[in-house]
Amino acid sequence: MGRDAQKAANIVLEAAHGLGFDLVGIAPLRPPRRAEAFRRWLAAGHHAGMDWLERQSERILDPRRILESEGSILVCGVSHARAPLEIEGGGRIARYAAGRDYHNLVGKKLGKLARRLEALGLAGRGRTIVDAGPLLERSHANEAGLGFESRSANLLHPTFGPWFFLGELLLPIELEPTPTPPAASCGTCSACIDACPTDAIPEAGVIDANRCLSYHTIENRGTIPHELRKKLGEWAFGCDVCSEVCPYGSAAPDTEATFGLHRGAETRLVDWLAPRKNTEVADAEFWNGSPLTRAKREGRARNAALVLGNRPTDEGHKALTRALEGDSPLVRAAAFWGLSNGHRDDRGVREVLERALQREEDSDAAADMRTTLAHFG
Ligand code: B12
């Protein structure tokens, strides 16, 4: 690669740093080093219900198809380290989801960068990707020197640990790749594998989404398997266990000032279950700008019902009993489980459940309730 590629890389990296990204690096636009791991992961069905990853696999396996040209990937990282968050009245949400949505924040910054580079006459349009795009982000980020691959599959940085987001700008120009920093590694540590409440890490670097609480509370649109419901514990959206036990990142600077705290993250679980402003529109407006919108209203209510069953309170009991009469079969079945798990010793609960099962018209919800009742002490 010539001096022009080096000069252009310096300009691009400087512009990216200027926009406040915590980490930046460049990798060539080519198939990801971990292409084989991705193929195996899909073939094993570890992607659970995330069919879109399968549909995008051709482009993921060769990102040159996205730009339809050769080029480079500018990878940017934004730290989101912050203190753990406990919702008043019980329940936890993953730290990344506490503030405003990183997809917007990182996406806007990358858009600005693309326009700046265009104005400098450096690059044509390019393409920004944040999370849901057709790219194996961590593999390219590793190649661009942003961090090292770990047993939890998270990309780790010596200072930020796993607590940073990724976003990329694919550019149709040749840029000198960033030299990869000295390799760090997990060494003999397997804290994430040992701590995962659902054994969702069957081997180093591989997450089976079918067992991962993050998948079930964020991406799964259906019922959460019975076997995992108690293991959900307090996690009402996402799960940080594999990140929290990681020795890296415990001293990462707090970023609450950047992302703030979205009002949704302060909302009690009983209100997730039965929103006070009880219309779709008002609810959508309330949650707008929060990463929690990803689970949708029904998913949040389902998660809340299960967590309220794992952490029983009087207030939760009332909310769960009301939810048995709600309009979503998914939520009715989850509320049924919540009452059965957390309130089995309360007077009259068995009769309440039996009546709910009798009037249930949705066959899937009724089957779920019967499974729950079969385990009622
Ligand atoms: C699908 C998805 C999920 C799924 C599946 C997770 C998974 N591990 O595959 C679910 C919903 C479970 C999920 C959960 C989470 N996710 Co997610 N997710 C994605 C997404 C969209 C695609 C990932 C993918 O393609 N998976 C397939 C596998 C093969 O890819 P991979 O895990 O990235 O591959 C790495 C490992 O397999 C590793 N590896 C492979 N073999 C081996 C062998 C050894 C020995 C080792 C050490 C490593 C290793 O190398 C690969 C490249 O680094 C990416 C964004 C993107 N477009 O890439 C975000 C992304 C990976 N998620 C992210 C985050 C923040 C999370 C959560 C922390 C959210 C939370 N708190 O609940 C958890 C963490 C779970 C975990 N330990 O991975 C960040 C991770 C940032 C980082 N620093 O690593 C990403 C990059 C989004 C972003 N733009 O910031 N996620």
CB 27 within 8 A of CB 140: yes
Residues 6 or more apart from 202 whose CB is under 8 A from it?
A: 208
Pair (143, 244) in one structural domain = no
The answer to whether residue 254 sits within a structural domain is yes
* Boundary (domain end) residue, out of 123, 138, 171: 171
pLDDT of residue 181: 73
Q: What is the pLDDT along the chain (377 residues), one digit of tens a residue?
A: 677 999 999 999 999 999 999 999 999 999 999 999 999 999 999 999 999 999 999 999 999 999 999 999 999 999 999 999 999 999 999 999 999 999 999 999 999 999 999 888 887 778 999 999 999 999 999 999 999 999 999 999 999 999 999 999 999 999 999 988 767 899 999 999 999 999 999 999 999 999 999 999 999 999 999 999 999 999 999 999 999 999 999 999 999 998 999 999 999 999 999 866 567 778 889 999 999 999 999 999 999 999 999 999 999 999 999 999 999 999 999 999 999 999 777 779 999 999 999 999 999 999 999 999 998 76
The answer to whether residue 176 sits within a structural domain is no
Supply the residues annotated as catalytic: 131
With the most atoms of ligand 1 within 8 angstroms of its CB, the residue from 38, 54, 131 to mutate is 131
CA of 148 to the centre of ligand 1 (A): 13
The answer to whether residue 184 sits within a structural domain is no
Pair (162, 298) in one structural domain = no
What is the 8-class DSSP label of residue 162? T
* Boundary (domain end) residue, out of 142, 171, 200: 171
Pair (163, 295) in one structural domain = no
Pair (144, 195) in one structural domain = no
Pairing status of strand 164-171 against strand 72-79 = antiparallel
Question: Would you call 233 exposed, middle or buried from its count of C-beta atoms within 10 A (0-12, 13-18, 19+)?
Answer: middle
SS3 call for 198: coil
Using CA positions, which residue lies closest to atom 48 of ligand 1? 205
Pair (162, 204) in one structural domain = no
State the closest ligand 1 atom to the C-alpha of 206, by its place in the atom list counted from 1.
37
Pair (196, 114) in one structural domain = no
Residues 6 or more apart from 61 whose CB is under 8 A from it?
A: 31, 32, 35, 38, 39
pLDDT of residue 88: 93
pLDDT of residue 125: 74
Which element (helix H / strand E) includes 349?
helix 349-359
Pair (311, 255) in one structural domain = yes
Pair (275, 166) in one structural domain = no
pLDDT of residue 275: 66
Number of domains in the chain: 2
Q: What is the rounded CA–CA span in Å between residue 149 and residue 65?
A: 25
CA of 36 to the centre of ligand 1 (A): 15
pLDDT of residue 294: 95
CB count within 10 Å of CB 85 equals 18
- Which residue's entry shows tokens 């503030």? 99
State the closest ligand 1 atom to the C-alpha of 156, by its place in the atom list counted from 1.
83
The answer to whether residue 91 sits within a structural domain is no
The answer to whether residue 257 sits within a structural domain is yes
The answer to whether residue 94 sits within a structural domain is no
Pair (121, 239) in one structural domain = no
CA of 298 to the centre of ligand 1 (A): 25
pLDDT of residue 194: 98
Question: Would you call 14 exposed, middle or buried from its count of C-beta atoms within 10 A (0-12, 13-18, 19+)?
Answer: exposed
The answer to whether residue 32 sits within a structural domain is yes
Pair (148, 226) in one structural domain = no
Pair (213, 362) in one structural domain = yes
* Boundary (domain end) residue, out of 128, 143, 171: 171
For residue 317, the enclosing domain spans 191-374
Residues in contact with ligand 1 (CB, 6 Å cut-off) = 34, 37-38, 41, 50, 53, 94, 96, 130-131, 133, 135-139, 142, 149-155, 162, 164-166, 204-207, 209, 212, 214-215, 218-219, 238-240, 242-243
CA of 155 to the centre of ligand 1 (A): 8
The answer to whether residue 142 sits within a structural domain is yes
pLDDT of residue 283: 84
Q: How many helices (H) and strands (E) does the chain have?
A: 19, 8
State the closest ligand 1 atom to the C-alpha of 167, by its place in the atom list counted from 1.
89
Pair (200, 110) in one structural domain = no
